Amino acid sequence: MKKKVIIMAMIGVSIILFSCENTSVNGNNETLNEDQLLIEAQEAQIKKLEKENDELLTKLNSTQINLKYAGEQITYFQQFSLDALDYLSDKELVVLAKKQLEYTLEVNGQIMPKDGKIEIQENNIEISLSERQPANNALPVEIYSKGEISGRYEKHMQDFNPNPTVTNWRDGTVVTAIQYQYLEVNSGTTISFSITDELKERLGLDTTQISIVKK
């Protein structure tokens, strides 16, 4: 009887040990599988990043080549333009220089009509003469300066009646302007002034007499 009990106990212990061993092996296998999957995922991510890095390097090299080519083209055309200027007469150079600068006469943001007459509804009136320069100028300074109107802006706008309330200067990189302001203008009021023939030509107007009527 005792032998049977001992044998049964030994069998039970063997089963328990075998089960524990299987559990341990399975656990180790699961851990190994998880580690392997993690390594594979990391390797895949590394390959993806390496591919993206190669693509970026290719684009960078292409961009550098394009920039170098563009720089060479700009240098070529600048030199070509300078060489071409040698074949122009002084009169043609002045015409070319004038095309680089745009002069505008506005009243409350409205371009002055060719006949020099305009009606305004607002109580406050602002007259603005502006010069717009090109963002990039390829002409030499001595030629470019031939396109500017002579003297200061205010010398080209005279005989204001009545006189403006406020006079302001606006000096920017591209746009420079002089502004004359009239505040609280009564209905029926006429503001008049004259401009020089030189400014008339640059503005493309048909007259040197300017008239602004407050409606």
More confidently predicted of 31 and 179: 179
Mean pLDDT of the residues in the chain = 81
Look at residue 76 in the predicted model and tell me its pLDDT. 45
In this structure, the number of other CB atoms found within 10 A of the CB of residue 48 comes to: 10
Look at residue 15 in the predicted model and tell me its pLDDT. 52
- What is the CA angle 146-150-152, rounded to 5? 130
Residue-range domain boundaries for the chain = 1-87, 102-214
- What is the CA angle 141-145-148, rounded to 5? 155
Note the pTM of the prediction, 2 decimals. Answer: 0.61
